[in-house]
Amino acid sequence: MTKRSIGVLIIAAGYSSRMHDFKPLLPFGKTSALKRLILTYQAHGIESIYVVVGHRQEEIREVLKEEKVTIVYNEAYDQGMFSSIQTGLRAMDDTLSAFYMQPVDIPLIKAQSLERLYEAYESTRKGVIYPTFLGHKGHPPLIDKKYKAQILASNGEGGLKKVLEAFQDDALHVNVCEQSVLMDMDTKEDYENLLRYEALSAPNKEECLAMMLQNEVPPHIIKHCEAVEKMACNLHEQITCFNLGIDKDTLSAAALLHDIARKEKNHALVGAQKLRAMGYDAIGDLIATHMDIDVDVNAAISANELLFLADKLVDEDEVCGFEKRFARAFQKCEGNLEAQRNITQRLNATRMIISKIEKLTCKVFPYG
């Protein structure tokens, strides 16, 4: 099976009455909600893209005139979303084996989430694959075409959810790490929340937690990462007025995820590779140096140095200061000369970073 056999049904036919604006054409950066979804599915490798229109269909047709999509008009769009799903499903190519059911008001779905659903469908052949984020079911479901007849035969009472409830034994819930599967835009406030989410340069705290759980990070390590993140943000606050160009969102995420591969050998490098594979190169670059770092005393303070230092000021989930932390480390490695040499190098790097902060701020470093 290839993605050529998978389609997507984007429902963009409603009135957007609660939004008091037209959802499909609401701007996200340089594009619109609808075009954003089309681009995402194209990036995922989906070629069979169906857009169901109704209200203000002429505007959507004009916007999509250069796009490689199939536009399907639902004359009964005033009867609600389920009628649009049925209309779109009737128009779909019979050679397709499954389709994503994508409401236009959940526009920030990411290709990584879609890939997780597709891989689960390909490996299990379950009839309905749902994305879940921290235990909450989201959109879009990936639905096998074997349920086409049941969907078309429904009178619409209870919508698609009611139809699919009959096939719970053939359903699979797949954990994803993107909160966007839960984020719709029924209201102006919802839309503003989506804009803030889109503006983030890194995964938020909930998404970082989902990544750690997906990678089976033990609870005590999660607590350590949360303590390091708090410390990293405190350090950033001390120097933020000096405009060093350190992105707080990226630093925060890197601190939360720095030990995502703690159980692995060379966990800093393995963790960095994991984040880069997810598309977060900047976070991976920070994680790569959280254990060992070369400090240039003449260069400006870097995000890598802040993460390295924050990690050295926290022992498990206790803020203990670097002297106490390194004393414990030396004690654990007593008799292991190579390990003690490595610890000494890290201690020296820690002192150098602290010296850089004190020189910059003209204040005594508060975490001894």
Chain position carrying tokens 């160009």: 245
Nearest in space to 53 (alpha carbons), one of 13, 8, 95, 1: 13
Phi, psi of 223 (to 5 degrees): -65, -40
Please give the Cα distance from 29 to 312 (Å, whole number): 39
Q: CATH classification of 205-361 is 1.10.3210.10, yes or no?
A: yes
How wide is the angle at C-alpha 181 spanned by C-alphas 179 and 184, nearest 5°?
100
Q: Over the stretch 61-114, which tens digit does the pLDDT of each residue have?
A: 999 999 999 999 999 999 999 999 999 999 999 999 999 999 999 999 999 999
Domain boundaries, the chain: 3-199, 205-361
How wide is the angle at C-alpha 131 spanned by C-alphas 181 and 197, nearest 5°?
20
> Residue 98's beta-bridge partner residues?
6, 144
Give me the pLDDT at residue 256, please: 98
Count Cβ atoms within 10 A of the Cβ of residue 166 and give its class: 0-12 exposed, 13-18 middle, 19 or more buried. Answer: exposed
Q: Over the stretch 303-340, which tens digit does the pLDDT of each residue have?
A: 999 999 999 999 888 888 788 888 888 888 888 888 88
The letter for the amino acid at 361 is T
CATH of domain 3-199: 3.90.550.10
Q: Over the stretch 216-264, which tens digit does the pLDDT of each residue have?
A: 999 999 999 999 999 999 999 999 999 999 999 999 999 999 999 999 9
Give me the pLDDT at residue 326, please: 84
This prediction's pTM: 0.91
Please give the Cα distance from 103 to 109 (Å, whole number): 10
State in Å, rounded, how far the first CA of the chain is from the last one: 59
Q: Half-sphere exposure of 225 toward its Cβ, with a 13 Å CA cutoff?
A: 25
